[in-house]
């Protein structure tokens, strides 16, 4: 963008001011300052350069830096700021301007270092400094945009497109029809007019009567393009008005299309003033709220965005949108989409350098503005977006590198989403009522905090990521991470569900009786009752989950193994029997069966006697530990019930599995 003052709010119609008899240097400086104060920056530069030849002071270097900054020539501006710094410390205001210039040249570390010193002064400075420190976060939405320059940009500035039913209307400083056109003295460019593009045809100058000899700026069309609100310099009924200090500010004007197709004479917005500017109009989707930019007194600083309501046949007094949207810098070029999102340009919020485009949801109280990131935004000025009714396609303005003129118009296709998250019961899949909180990882803020709802909706741009927390009475809270980069760019609506389970209502101790690696019995204790489960252990776990029963602990009870041709209790077998002692002490009404087995080696009669000795040894061990013998039922099978029936081919491990005492709980 050429300069904020060129595009927003300044036409100067003043005579030169000369100083007294202070010497040639001071006289030149006074003349240059007069042009600077009235926005004639190129004329001021010529005079400051004359003064520089006479006296190379810090003052003249700073003023040259300021002129080039206002003309949006950061490379030149930086050089003069650096020259000024070599001559000593600059004041706070000049250092802040220096930091802004550094950021527009993508020297983010240096910009952060400069701005970080002044965080105590204004809140917006802290935000800008923080943004430059973490500038990489603005690049995660790059794939959310398809952007290309329109073919009809000119060598002059073309900007502020306003989408209409048949095309769009935009602002341009180009010549038209070969007629003489006066130049605007800020940077010797031509005055701005409205041009129209219909159905992809070549631009044509908008109707005479709307365009005048001075600036016409951003506009908005409504009621099927039969009405328009547009920006114009303070020029009405062939008269140019000025403020007390000689500035021709901007004003809003209204016009309607007549039966013959011509536009009516423009009428003024009743809150226009000669002393400040009002411009950049846009309307809400219902046409009842007018948004615009103004530097009227009482704002947050610089240029702010205001709104006015259509009530009882007239517009209400303007209301400032407040400090969440407006900063101590400039917020301008508002646009309201059909789904009530406010888009605007700002150089006061965290951004990439110059003006960046932001979006905020007007349907949510105190919603935070969102920088829409690269590649919509760059380190240059990106501003004045206008979208089609579906919000997917539109146009915006930028002075980024590679364009045709100073400011150019670009066509954009946006890949964004409306995300819905539902809260559901895990068992029934039914919607439940609870609280939903949406944390935007880019903003590092909660963008939604809804209570007593079953679902929440919020906007997202491709590449965004969120964490959604869900909670409800009598349910266990849970969360859901949403990564939009994993969705298809062509889908507009994304729907997710958070499933909440009811809390655990009981807990159980599970006993698994293991025989050679297989669970022969599964029991569980709940409500002081020992229950048996006839299925697999995994089935019991699934049943507990369905009944919201927690497994407090799992105790494995194993069979007793013996060495070949022996019946004495090995140390590891004693450890297994000790678990059975603990079990029987815990459940004094329970009885267990001890069934001894051998391998196939030796005669059957010998194996039967060996099996009985083994049962007797296990039973004696338990009795010695205090277990009543009446609770122990012994049984021996010798080699009749082999665990592994492998015949003479059994290896040592298989023989070991067959030499065992099985312990089972007698079911009552």
pLDDT at 296: 95
| CATH top class, domain 417-500 | mainly beta
Question: pLDDT for 559-612, tens place per residue?
Answer: 665 444 455 676 777 888 888 898 889 888 888 888 766 555 554 555 566 667
Q: Is the pLDDT of residue 638 over 50?
A: no
Residue that wins the pLDDT comparison between 64 and 555:
64
C-alpha to C-alpha distances, 98 to 88, 107, 329, 442, nearest whole angstrom: 14, 11, 15, 27
Is residue 113 exposed (0-12), middle (13-18) or buried (19+ Cβ within 10 Å)? Answer: middle
Residues composing the chain: 668
**291 with 263: CB under 8 angstroms?**
no
Which pLDDT band, with edges at 50, 70 and 90, does 11 fall under?
Answer: very low
Q: What is the pLDDT of residue 188?
A: 59
Q: CA 611, CA 652: separation in Å to the nearest integer?
A: 18
Band of the pLDDT at 226, cuts 50, 70, 90?
A: very high
**3-class DSSP assignment, residue 51:** helix
pLDDT at 209: 73
Residues 6+ apart with CB under 8 A from 386: 161, 162, 163, 168, 335, 394, 395, 396
Which of 63-67, 281-285, 496-500, 663-667 has the weakest average pLDDT? 663-667
pLDDT digits (tens, 9 = 90+) for 62-108: 999 999 988 888 899 999 999 998 998 888 788 888 888 888 888 88
Alpha carbon distance 451, 431 (integer Å): 14
pLDDT in the model for residue 35: 83
Q: What angle do CA 208, 214, 215 make, to 5 degrees?
A: 95
pTM: 0.69
Mean pLDDT confidence for 451-477: 94
Q: When comparing pLDDT for 113 and 394, which is higher?
A: 394
* Phi, psi of 312, rounded to the nearest 5 degrees: 55, 45
Output the CA–CA distances (angstroms, integers) from residue 647 to 455, 601, 644, 655, in the order listed. 66, 9, 9, 10
Residues 391-411, mean pLDDT to the nearest whole number: 91
pLDDT at residue number 111: 82
Q: Is pLDDT larger for residue 467 or for residue 42?
A: 467
Burial of 413 (0-12, 13-18, 19+ CB in 10 A): middle
Residue 421: band (very low, low, confident or very high) from pLDDT cuts 50, 70, 90 = very high
- The CATH number that domain 559-668 falls under is 3.30.1330.60
Q: Pick 4-139's CATH classification: 1.25.40.10, 3.60.20.10, 3.30.930.10, 1.10.3720.10.
A: 1.25.40.10
* Residue boundaries of the structural domains of the chain: 4-139, 142-414, 417-500, 504-558, 559-668
Per the CB < 8 A criterion, the answer to whether 598 and 638 are in contact is: yes
pLDDT for residue 425: 94
| Cβ–Cβ under 8 Å, residues 185 and 40 | yes
Position 170 confidence tier, pLDDT thresholds 50, 70, 90? very high
Mean pLDDT, rounded, for 524-551: 81
Query: Which pLDDT value is given to residue 424?
Result: 97
Q: Note whether 120 and 149 are within 8 A (CB).
A: no
Nearest CA-CA partner of 189 in 50, 40, 74, 78: 40
In this prediction, residue 27 has a pLDDT band, given cuts at 50, 70 and 90, of: confident
pLDDT, tens only, 301-329: 889 999 999 998 999 999 999 999 999 88
Q: Is the pLDDT of residue 5 over 60?
A: no
**What's 257's DSSP letter?**
B
**Left (φ > 0), alpha (ψ -120 to 50) or beta: where does 200 sit?**
left
The phi, psi pair for 44, rounded to 5°, reads -65, -40
Query: How sure is the predictor about 129, in pLDDT bands with cuts at 50, 70 and 90?
Result: confident
* Average pLDDT for 274-294: 94
Q: Quick one: pLDDT at residue 305? A: 98
Q: What is the pLDDT of residue 611?
A: 65
CATH fold group of domain 142-414? Neuraminidase (2.120.10)
Q: How confident is the model over 636-656, as a mean pLDDT? A: 52
Residues 533 and 524 sit within 8 Å (Cβ to Cβ): yes
Backbone angles phi, psi at 124, to 5 degrees: -65, -30
Residue from 304, 222, 297 nearest 255 by CA: 222
């Amino acid at each position: 963008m050429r300069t904020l003052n060129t595009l927003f709010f300044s036409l100067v119609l003043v005579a030169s001011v000369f100083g007294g008899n202070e010497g040639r240097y001071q006289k030149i400086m006074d003349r240059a300052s007069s042009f600077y104060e009235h926005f004639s920056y190129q004329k001021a530069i010529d005079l400051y350069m004359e003064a520089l030849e006479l006296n190379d002071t810090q003052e003249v270097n700073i003023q040259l830096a300021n002129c080039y900054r206002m003309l949006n020539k950061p490379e030149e501006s930086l050089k003069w700021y650096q020259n000024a710094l070599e001559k000593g410390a600059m004041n706070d205001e000049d250092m802040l301007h220096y930091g802004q210039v550094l950021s527009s040249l993508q020297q983010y570390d240096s910009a952060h270092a400069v701005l970080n010193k002044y965080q105590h002064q204004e809140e917006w400075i802290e935000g800008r400094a923080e943004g430059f420190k973490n500038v990489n976060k603005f690049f995660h939405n790059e794939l959310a945009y398809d952007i290309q320059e329109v073919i009809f940009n000119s060598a002059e500035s073309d900007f502020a497109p306003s989408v209409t039913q048949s095309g769009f209307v935009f602002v341009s400083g180009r010549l038209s029809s070969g007629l003489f056109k006066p130049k605007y003295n800020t940077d010797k460019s031509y005055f701005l007019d409205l041009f129209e593009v219909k159905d992809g045809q070549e631009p044509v100058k908008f109707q005479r009567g709307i365009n005048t000899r001075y600036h016409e700026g951003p506009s908005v069309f409504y009621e099927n393009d039969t009405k328009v609100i547009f920006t114009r310099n303070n020029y009405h009924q062939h008269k140019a008005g000025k403020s007390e200090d000689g500035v021709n500010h901007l004003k809003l004007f209204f016009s309607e299309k007549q039966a013959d197709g011509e536009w009516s004479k423009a009428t003024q917005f009743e809150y226009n003033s000669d002393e400040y500017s009002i411009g950049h109009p846009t309307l809400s989707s219902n046409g009842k709220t007018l948004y615009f930019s103004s530097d009227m007194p009482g704002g947050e600083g610089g240029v702010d965005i205001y709104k006015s309501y259509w009530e009882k046949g007239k517009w209400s007094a303007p209301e400032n949108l407040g400090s969440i949207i407006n900063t101590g810098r400039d917020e301008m070029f508002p646009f309201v989409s059909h789904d009530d999102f406010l888009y605007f340009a700002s150089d006061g919020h965290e951004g990439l350098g110059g003006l960046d485009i932001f979006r905020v949801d007007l349907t949510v109280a105190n919603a935070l503005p969102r920088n829409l990131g690269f590649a919509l935004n760059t380190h240059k000025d990106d501003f004045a977006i206008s979208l089609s009714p579906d919000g997917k396609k539109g146009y915006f303005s930028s002075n980024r590198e590679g364009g045709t003129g100073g400011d150019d118009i670009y066509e954009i296709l946006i890949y964004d989403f409306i995300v819905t998250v539902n809260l559901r019961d895990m068992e029934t899949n039914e919607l439940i009522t609870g609280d939903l909180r949406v944390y935007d990882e880019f903003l590092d803020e909660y963008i939604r905090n809804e209570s007593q709802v079953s679902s929440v909706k919020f906007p997202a741009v491709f590449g965004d990521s969120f964490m959604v927390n869900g909670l409800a009475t009598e349910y266990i809270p849970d969360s859901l991470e949403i990564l939009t980069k994993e969705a298809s760019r062509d889908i507009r609506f994304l729907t997710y569900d958070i499933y909440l389970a009811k809390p655990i209502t009981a807990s159980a101790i599970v006993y698994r009786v293991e025989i050679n690696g297989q669970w022969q019995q599964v029991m569980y204790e709940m409500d002081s009752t020992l229950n048996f489960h006839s299925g697999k252990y995994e089935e019991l776990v699934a049943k507990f989950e369905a009944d919201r029963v927690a497994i407090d602990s799992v105790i494995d009870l194993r069979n007793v193994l013996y060495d070949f041709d022996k019946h004495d209790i090995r140390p590891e077998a004693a450890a297994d029997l000790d678990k059975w002692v603990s079990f029987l002490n815990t459940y004094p009404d329970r009885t267990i069966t001890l069934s001894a087995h051998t391998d196939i080696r030796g005669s059957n009669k010998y194996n039967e006697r060996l099996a009985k000795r083994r049962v007797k040894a296990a039973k004696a061990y338990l009795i010695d530990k205090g277990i009543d013998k009446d609770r122990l039922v012994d049984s021996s099978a010798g080699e009749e019930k082999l665990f592994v029936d492998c015949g003479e081919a059994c290896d040592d491990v298989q023989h070991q599995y067959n030499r065992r005492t099985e312990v089972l709980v007698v079911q009552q």
